[in-house]
Amino acid sequence: MIDPFERFARWLADAEATEPNDPNACALATVAREQDGRVWPDVRMVLLKRFGPDGFVFFTNLESAKGRQLAETPEAALCFHWKALKRQVRLQGPVTQVPDAEADSYFATRPRASQLSAWASAQSQPLDRRETFEARLLEMAARFPGAVPRPPFWSGFRLRPRWFEFWEDREGRQHHRERCWRTEGGWVSGLLYP
pLDDT digits (tens), the chain, 194 positions: 689 999 999 999 999 999 989 999 999 999 999 889 899 999 999 999 999 999 999 999 999 999 999 999 999 999 999 999 999 999 999 999 999 999 999 999 999 999 999 999 999 999 999 999 999 999 999 999 999 999 999 999 999 999 999 999 999 999 999 999 999 999 999 999 99
Query: Rounded to an integer, what is the distance from CA 15 to the centroid of its chain?
Result: 16
**Backbone φ/ψ region at 101: left (φ over 0), alpha (ψ -120 to 50), beta:** alpha
Query: How much is the pLDDT for 157?
Result: 98
From 38, 162, 173, 177, the catalytic residue:
173
Q: What b/e sequence results for 138-171 when a residue is b if at least 16 CB atoms lie within 10 Å of its CB, and e otherwise?
A: eebeeeeeeebebbeebbbbbbebebbbbbeeee
Distance of alpha carbon 126 from alpha carbon 137, whole angstroms: 16
Any idea where the domains of the chain sit in the sequence? 4-112+154-192
- Check if 173 is active-site: yes
Amino acid at 112: R
| 4-112+154-192: CATH topology | Pnp Oxidase; Chain A (2.30.110)
Query: How much is the pLDDT for 1?
Result: 66
Distance of alpha carbon 113 from alpha carbon 160, whole angstroms: 30
Bridge partners (DSSP) of residue 186 are 183
Distance of alpha carbon 140 from alpha carbon 122, whole angstroms: 13
pTM: 0.94
